[in-house]
């Protein structure tokens, strides 16, 4: 018979998702011989047989992929015949460039759930049940390729029954690396805050459920870290959690026992259900209807962050309780989520009453991801569990890079082999614990992918902790303007190559002129950016502290408008405080100039009495967004656009907002003012887009977490004939900055290599 042998290499998410047994199944069915194995690049197959059968094999490989596998690239080439007599699954190969992708943690699959609820199954009520379709991956992997010896399961020796499943290519648990059962796998225990064990195994779960029922706060060791669990119906218990955590008003997410519970509380669209039930199982922000959720869970908020149980442990606990619980990251405010039992006792002891722990170590932290659906697509506000391991395709041109991100809500990123890997959410870089997580995550990336960076990218802000870290690295330094990075981040995720008008609106970022930017329109192309328009600047009395005090932003805005004769009755300051701040403004002391849209939002929220001081970042803007929730209004406030000459000598525009403020100060209804204010901003975007004339308009920056603003801007842009883009899988907030820095740095390195005529200096 005329046989051929092919060597097929497959890259993508092909490890830990049942890919090899899938290949094995097809090969055996078609009577083909050869082997399949995991490699640091992905999966390698050598397959031999009749050419027709090989063609069928290749087609089925593509068309019948297991549910959680993703193929990025397949390479097929004919090789010399070997004459194998059967098809086998070989052990893993190591060596070569590491391009395999870390698989994500996957929510419990229906088969595993069924087994756990079956009294006659050996995994009945076992909280660490998993298979190749579900279970931990990202949170337990210590090295690639993904084999048990490279995970935190390495010290659990499989019993005979588990081993038999693991070795059988036709079993659902064939090479399921975290495979375990009650006889050989991890177990849980309930501890008091001194670490004394109060109960073990199933008794620990019942005791924890009793405590939650009683209004206690339980720190539960979940998949990517600890969570605080509290009865979501118990207002005083939630208030106690807020008090102890120092998180006074920021909304909490809830975990619902069943879909029926969600239905009783929220309005859920088809797309939202799909997301809630997906293997990533994120927190989805849903429109609230009613239900039994205590007011302190998400005060005055028309949305509720909701998720379903995603591990067997969560399923068992929520089934035992039968009511929704608050499930929030087990951390101190702004710090990374805690992953280690001892560390949990040490740092969460003052908050939790009890600890429901287990002995499967967490290799890598991951908070619950937070998304909402807009225009049938997710908008990711916090990117972590279930999503963080997926890279963005960026043409890295053979260069390896590190990007350190911004300061708040930080992530870091690396460029490696035509991928930008963006880390899971890390946190605010002003505390030592986040700095620690940053360092760990960076060395994690360097080890996993054997990285040899040619340069390091950071923000232009001289005082960011990340900038200082980058400066100390000894690597070639590339500084990237903050808002340029926001727009490049959006362009990277949408693979936009042509010029765009970038609308970068956020709190603040350091501008090329040394002032604080944040209400920017940047024309971005492959050469760089021009600042084509921005909000007319005002001063922020008190500088950075204005971010926590919207009343200071209001003062700055009124001062720009009226000088010393500003209407004092609109400001929540004592007469003496006003005098001090006016003197500072007058002398331009500690009152930096800003064009920030975020601070402008704050000013308006304060001027109409919604928020004078905020207890968390973005609170004032959120209250302004929610204020307009109940009214539908199409009107806008008047505004002026003044042409100016840009730094580069081109035409630019200043957005004069004086008429907006003077008009809204004469009105009284906060809901109407809020609606008209949002409309006005959307109209401004369209006006500038028409003046600049780029067909593609990209919206990024923290202000576009606001779905009213996003929706109004997208609607008006489409109506005016533009193609709007916005961030979906990478956050519009500063969690997206690292990706933008990578893109800018790749371009910068190309310029360098282009000018010296040498391309190979960055290759290993
Ligand atoms: Zn499963
Ligand atoms: Zn076992
Ligand atoms: Fe920003």
pLDDT of residue 95: 67
Is the model's pLDDT at 166 over the cut of 60? yes
Residue 488: inside a domain: no
Indicate whether 399 and 356 sit together in one domain.
no
Ligand nearest to the CA of 508: 3
Does 764 have pLDDT greater than 70? Answer: no
Measured in Å, residue 264 CA sits from the centre of ligand 1 at 28
> From the CA of 181, which ligand is nearest?
2
Residue 627 predicted with pLDDT over 60: yes
**Residue 437 and residue 474 in one domain:** yes
Relative to the alpha carbon of 130, which ligand is closest? 1
Residues 455 and 535 in one domain: no
Query: Are 524 and 647 in the same domain?
Result: yes
Ligand approaching nearest to the C-alpha of 279:
1
The answer to whether residue 492 sits within a structural domain is no
Number of structural domains the chain divides into: 4
- Please give the average per-residue pLDDT across 1-11, as a whole number: 90
- Predicted local distance difference test score (pLDDT) of residue 412: 97
The CATH number of the domain where 444 resides is what?
A: 3.30.420.360
CA of 396 to the centre of ligand 3 (A): 24
In a domain, 540, yes or no: yes
Ligand 3 centroid to residue 364 C-alpha, Å: 26
* Ligand with minimal distance to 112 CA: 1
Residue 489 lies in a domain: no
Q: How confident is the model at residue 543 (pLDDT cuts 50, 70, 90)?
A: confident
Q: Is residue 513 domain-shared with residue 602, that is, in the same domain?
A: yes
Distance 229 CA to ligand 2 centre (A): 29
Q: For residue 237, how far is its CA from the centre of ligand 3 (angstroms)?
A: 35
Same domain, 245 and 145: yes
Q: How do residues 368-392 score in pLDDT, each as one tens digit?
A: 999 999 999 999 999 999 999 899 9
Q: How far is the CA of 112 from the centre of ligand 1 (A)?
A: 4
In terms of domains, do 559 and 426 share one? no
Helix (H) or strand (E) holding 644: strand 640-645
Question: What is the model's pLDDT at position 648?
Answer: 80
Q: Which ligand is nearest to the CA of 156?
A: 2
- On whether both 751 and 645 belong to a single domain, the answer is no
Q: By percentage, how much of the chain surpasses pLDDT 70?
A: 98
Residue 63 placed within a domain: yes
Residue 634 shares a structural domain with residue 722: yes
CA of 207 to the centre of ligand 1 (A): 26
User: Kindly report the CA angle at 304 between 303 and 310, in degrees rounded to 5?
Assistant: 145
For residue 123, report the distance from its CA to the centre of ligand 2, in Å.
Answer: 9
Q: How far is the CA of 21 from the centre of ligand 1 (A)?
A: 15
Could you write out the DSSP letters of every residue in 159-217? Answer: PHHHHHHHH-TTSTTTT-TT---TTTS--EEEE-TT--EEEEHHHHHHHHHHHHHTT--
User: What pTM does this model have?
Assistant: 0.92
More reliable by pLDDT, 751 or 478:
478
How many Å lie between the centroid of ligand 3 and the Cα of residue 112? 42
Please write the tens of the pLDDT for every residue from 181-203.
999 999 999 999 999 999 999 99
Q: Is the dihedral of CA 159, 163, 166, 170 positive or negative?
A: negative
Q: How far is the CA of 658 from the centre of ligand 3 (A)?
A: 24
- Asked if residue 487 is part of any domain, the answer here is no
In a domain, 24, yes or no: yes
| CA pair distance 749, 197, nearest whole angstrom | 56
What domain range is 471 assigned to? Answer: 391-480+737-760
CA of 179 to the centre of ligand 2 (A): 8
Ligand nearest to the CA of 596: 3
Does 171 share its domain with 47? no
Looking at residue 630, its pLDDT comes to 83
Residue 29 domain flag? yes
We report the CATH number of the domain holding residue 41 as 3.30.70.100
Alpha carbons 7 and 131: distance in angstroms, whole number: 28
Ligand nearest to the CA of 731: 3
Ligand 2 centroid–CA 210 distance in Å is 29
Distance 183 CA to ligand 2 centre (A): 5
Q: Cα angle at 728 between 712 and 460, to 5 degrees?
A: 95
How far is the centre of ligand 1, averaged over its atoms, from the C-alpha of 107 (Å)? 8
């Amino acid at each position: 018979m005329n046989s051929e042998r092919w060597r097929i290499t497959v890259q993508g998410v092909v490890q830990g998702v049942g890919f090899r047994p899938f290949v094995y199944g097809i090969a055996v069915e078609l009577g083909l011989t050869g082997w399949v194995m995991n490699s640091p690049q992905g999966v390698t197959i050598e397959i031999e047989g009749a050419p027709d059968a090989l063609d069928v094999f290749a087609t089925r490989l593509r068309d019948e992929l297991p549910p959680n596998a993703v193929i990025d690239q397949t390479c097929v080439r004919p090789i010399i015949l070997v004459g194998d007599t059967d098809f086998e699954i070989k052990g893993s190969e190591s060596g070569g460039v590491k391009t395999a992708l870390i698989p994500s943690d996957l929510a419990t699959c229906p088969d595993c759930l069924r087994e756990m609820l079956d009294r006659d199954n050996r995994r009945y009520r076992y909280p660490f049940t998993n298979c190749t379709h579900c279970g931990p991956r990202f949170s337990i992997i210590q090295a690639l390729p993904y084999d048990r010896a490279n995970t935190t399961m390495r010290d659990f020796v499989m019993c005979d029954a588990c081993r038999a499943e693991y070795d059988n290519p036709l079993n659902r648990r064939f090479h399921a690396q975290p495979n375990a059962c009650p006889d050989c796998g991890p177990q849980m225990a309930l501890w008091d805050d001194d670490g004394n064990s109060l109960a073990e195994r199933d008794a620990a779960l019942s005791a924890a459920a009793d405590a939650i029922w009683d209004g206690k706060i339980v720190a539960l060791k979940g998949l990517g870290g600890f969570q605080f669990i509290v009865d979501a119906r118990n207002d005083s218990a939630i208030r106690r959690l807020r008090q102890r955590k120092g998180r006074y008003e920021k909304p909490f997410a809830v975990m619902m026992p069943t879909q029926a519970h969600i239905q009783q509380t929220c309005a859920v669209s088809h797309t939202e259900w799909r997301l809630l039930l997906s293997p990533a199982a994120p927190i989805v922000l849903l429109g609230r209807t009613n239900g039994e959720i205590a007011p302190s869970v998400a005060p005055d908020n028309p949305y509720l962050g909701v998720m379903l149980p995603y591990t067997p442990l969560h399923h068992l606990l929520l089934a035992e309780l039968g009511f929704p619980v608050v499930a929030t990251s087990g951390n101190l405010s702004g710090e990374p989520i805690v992953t280690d039992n001892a560390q949990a006792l040490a740092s969460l002891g003052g908050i939790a009453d009890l600890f429901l722990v287990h002995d499967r170590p967490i290799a890598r932290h991951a908070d619950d991801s937070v998304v909402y659906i807009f225009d049938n697509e997710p908008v990711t506000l916090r990117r972590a569990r279930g999503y963080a391991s997926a890279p963005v395709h960026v043409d890295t041109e053979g260069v390896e890079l590190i990007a350190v991100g911004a300061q708040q809500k930080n992530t870091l990123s690396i460029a490696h082999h035509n991928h930008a890997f963006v880390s899971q959410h890390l946190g605010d870089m002003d505390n030592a614990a986040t700095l620690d997580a940053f360092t760990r995550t960076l060395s994690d990336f360097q080890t996993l992918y054997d990285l040899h960076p040619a340069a390091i990218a950071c923000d232009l802000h001289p005082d960011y902790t990340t900038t200082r870290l980058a400066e100390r690295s000894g690597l070639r330094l590339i500084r990237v303007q903050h808002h340029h990075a926001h727009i490049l981040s959006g362009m990277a995720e949408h693979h936009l190559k042509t010029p765009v008008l970038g609308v970068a609106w956020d709190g603040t970022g350091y501008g090329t002129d040394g002032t604080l930017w944040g209400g920017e329109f940047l024309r971005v192309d492959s050469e760089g950016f021009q600042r084509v328009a921005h909000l007319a600047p005002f001063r922020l009395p008190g500088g950075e502290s204005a971010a926590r005090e919207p009343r200071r932003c209001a003062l700055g805005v009124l001062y720009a408008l009226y000088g010393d004769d500003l209407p004092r009755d609109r400001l929540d300051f004592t007469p003496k405080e006003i005098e001090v701040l006016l003197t500072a403004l007058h002398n331009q002391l500690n009152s930096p100039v800003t064009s920030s849209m975020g601070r402008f939002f704050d000013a308006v929220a304060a001027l109409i009495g919604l928020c004078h001081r905020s207890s968390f970042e973005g609170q004032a803007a959120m209250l302004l967004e929610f204020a307009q929730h109940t009214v539908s209004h199409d009107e806008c406030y008047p505004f002026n656009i003044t042409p100016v000459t840009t730094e580069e000598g081109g035409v630019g525009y200043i957005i004069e907002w004086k008429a907006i403020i003077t008009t809204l100060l004469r009105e009284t209804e906060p809901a109407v003012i809020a609606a008209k204010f949002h409309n006005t901003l959307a109209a401004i975007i369209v006006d500038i887009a028409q003046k600049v004339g780029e067909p593609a308009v990209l919206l990024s920056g923290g202000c576009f977490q606001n779905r009213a603003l996003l929706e109004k801007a997208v609607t008006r842009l489409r109506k005016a004939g533009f193609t709007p883009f916005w961030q979906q899988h990478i956050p519009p907030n500063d969690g997206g900055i690292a990706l933008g820095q990578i893109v800018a740095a790749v371009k910068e390195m190309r310029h360098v290599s282009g000018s010296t005529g040498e391309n190979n200096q960055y290759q290993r």
